[in-house]
Amino acid sequence: MVSLTDLFLASLLVPTSLGSALPPRIIDTIDQRGGRVTLKQVRNPRGHKAFNPARATYRTFLKYGVPAPDYIKKAVAHIDEEQEEAFARIKRDTGSAAAIPINEVDIAYVTPVTIGTPPQTLMLDLDTGSSDLWVFSSLTPSNQVRGQEIYSPTKSSTSKLLSGHTWSIRYGDGSGSRGTVYTDNFTIGGLEVKSQAVQAALEVSSSFTQEQSLDGLVGLGFSALNTVRPSSQLTFFDNARPNLDEEVFTADLKYHATGSYDFGFIDSKKYAGNITYTAVQQSPGYWTHSLSGYSVGSGAFQASQISGISDTGTTLLYLPTAIVTAYYRQVQGAQNSQYYGGYVFPCSSTLPTFTFGIEGARFTIPASYINYTRISPTSTTCYGGLQSSSGLGINIFGDVALKAAFVVFSGTNPPRIGFAIK
Ligand SMILES: Cc1noc(C)c1CN(C)Cc1cc2n(n1)CCN(c1cc(N)ncn1)C2
């Protein structure tokens, strides 16, 4: 005889085939005390699929109309509880590391990483505008190395040559590098990826040789942009994603100060208010999204969809000429100089702020960020942190813009990007 209790319990045992249609399965823990049933329902942590074999047996008893013995009911509860404890114990990966400006005008930011066994520490530029992880190496000709730390695969017991694979990358400013590929253990801020593709430079362009504080890049764009051939390689984020607590990394870049990159979690202490998200088009491989408009100083907000890429590897903010001329029209003595290759102005000028929109949210870039640098140490002419994107073929929301916000790069499906005030 099937008791009411059994029928009630049966109604909760939704066949797993429906499981996929439901939110992460609720674990119902059957706790019987003297015939009364109290059901403690807890959501599977992070939606893990939990098969409870005793529950299958319990169903069989129900199916054939035979009252399940007490020990089976208790077994269902015992297994549920053990599974719940196990899920709670699963450590989900996260990482957090410094973003250190490499010079007094924040031309780029570097982050300490370790490669290999024993770990070799290099300072790399985490770059959401490219997808190659490449490093100065023991294979880089010594006349192209000037003070950089190098990765020596032969000194790492966990390095493996990815034979027959090569890479070659060219950046927007004409700089570039090329080389061969190893896999090795790679960590950022305590987050480890085993067998990360590490692209060892056989050649670097002169502007990299001259940048002694930058030992290479970690591409955090989409893996489709990776230049390794014949088979392209996954970025550090794509490799780490399956183990991350949340499929995100965040950038908290700072003006003339050290900020941070976090992986796998969003640190609520690093921003104020809400995070405003907007859609990302991941083709051809950049974090491409739109601004909802802009304003200059205290001027009215100009609503306008401005598509571009959020690129931590680009120093300045590049927007359509119409917007840039509207900005510098407010700056006494500003001019678009062919001689200096962009908008310049007297260093003593008072600059307005620049505000950009993400959906309904507004982010204001202080004037100091746009008074980027003197042309030379003794010059009274200064170069703008806001420049025209004409000729680039794309608008680039580089560090001058990104350091005015806390930015969440979300690898969810579909991907999205979030901005918050800080
Ligand atoms: C330029 C520059 N930017 O940061 C530094 C450092 C420099 C100058 N420095 C002498 C050499 C250099 C050139 C580049 N880098 N470093 C960093 C990566 N670069 C990018 C990345 C990207 N997403 N988009 C465009 N270029 C070009």
pLDDT for position 3: 53
User: Per residue in 313-350, pLDDT tens?
Assistant: 999 999 999 999 999 999 999 999 999 999 999 999 99
Alpha-carbon distance of 152 to 135, in angstroms, equals 10
Neighbours of 32 (CB within 10 A): 14
Q: Which atom of ligand 1 is nearest to the CA of 208?
A: 11
Q: Which residue of 130, 133, 211, 387 sits with most ligand 1 atoms within 8 Å of its CB, as the best mutation to test the pocket?
A: 211
Q: Report the percent of the chain where pLDDT is more than 70.
A: 88
pLDDT for position 188: 98
Buried b (16+ CB within 10 A) or exposed e, 43-60: ebbeeeebebebbeebbe
Tell me which residues are annotated as active site. Answer: 127, 311
Q: Which atom of ligand 1 is nearest to the CA of 102?
A: 6
Q: Which atom of ligand 1 is nearest to the CA of 312?
A: 23
pLDDT for position 87: 75
Check if the beta carbon of residue 43 is closer than 8 Å to that of residue 23. yes
Neighbours of 77 (CB within 10 A): 19
DSSP letters, 60-84, are: HHHHTT-PPPHHHHHHHHHHHHHHH
Q: Which atom of ligand 1 is nearest to the CA of 175?
A: 13
pLDDT for position 88: 60
Residue with token string 């119902």: 28
Q: What spacing in Å lies between the alpha carbon of 313 and ligand 1's midpoint? A: 6
Q: Which residue of 110, 130, 173 sits with most ligand 1 atoms within 8 Å of its CB, as the best mutation to test the pocket?
A: 173
Strands 302-310 and 395-397, sheet pairing:
parallel
**Which protein residue has the closest C-alpha to ligand 1 atom 6?**
108
Q: What spacing in Å lies between the alpha carbon of 6 and ligand 1's midpoint? A: 67
Low-confidence ranges of the chain (pLDDT < 70): 1-49, 88-89, 91
Alpha-carbon distance of 224 to 235, in angstroms, equals 9
pLDDT for position 92: 86
**Which protein residue has the closest C-alpha to ligand 1 atom 13?**
175
Structure token digits, residue 408: 């969440």
Q: Which residue of 207, 209, 373, 394 sits with most ligand 1 atoms within 8 Å of its CB, as the best mutation to test the pocket?
A: 207
Q: What spacing in Å lies between the alpha carbon of 314 and ligand 1's midpoint? A: 6
Q: What spacing in Å lies between the alpha carbon of 128 and ligand 1's midpoint? A: 12
Alpha-carbon distance of 11 to 28, in angstroms, equals 11
Check if the beta carbon of residue 122 is closer than 8 Å to that of residue 198. no
Among 265, 251, 238, which residue's Cα sits nearest to residue 99? Answer: 251
Alpha-carbon distance of 30 to 35, in angstroms, equals 11
Q: What spacing in Å lies between the alpha carbon of 365 and ligand 1's midpoint? A: 22
199 φ, ψ (degrees, to nearest 5): -90, 110
pLDDT for position 84: 84
Q: Which atom of ligand 1 is nearest to the CA of 214?
A: 6
User: In degrees, to the nearest 5, what angle opens at C-alpha 313 toward C-alphas 309 and 317?
Assistant: 55
- Position 1: which residue type? M
Structure token digits, residue 261: 């990159």
Q: How many residues does the chain have?
A: 422
Alpha-carbon distance of 214 to 210, in angstroms, equals 9
The CA–CA distances, whole Å, from 344 to 321, 377, 392 equal: 14, 15, 19
Alpha-carbon distance of 44 to 53, in angstroms, equals 17
Structure token digits, residue 197: 């593709």
Question: What value of ipTM does the predicted structure carry?
Answer: 0.93
Name the 3-class secondary structure at 396: strand
Alpha-carbon distance of 357 to 289, in angstroms, equals 12
Q: Which residues line ligand 1 (CB under 6 A)?
A: 107-108, 125, 127, 129-130, 171-173, 175, 207-208, 210-211, 214, 217, 311, 313-315
pLDDT for position 49: 65
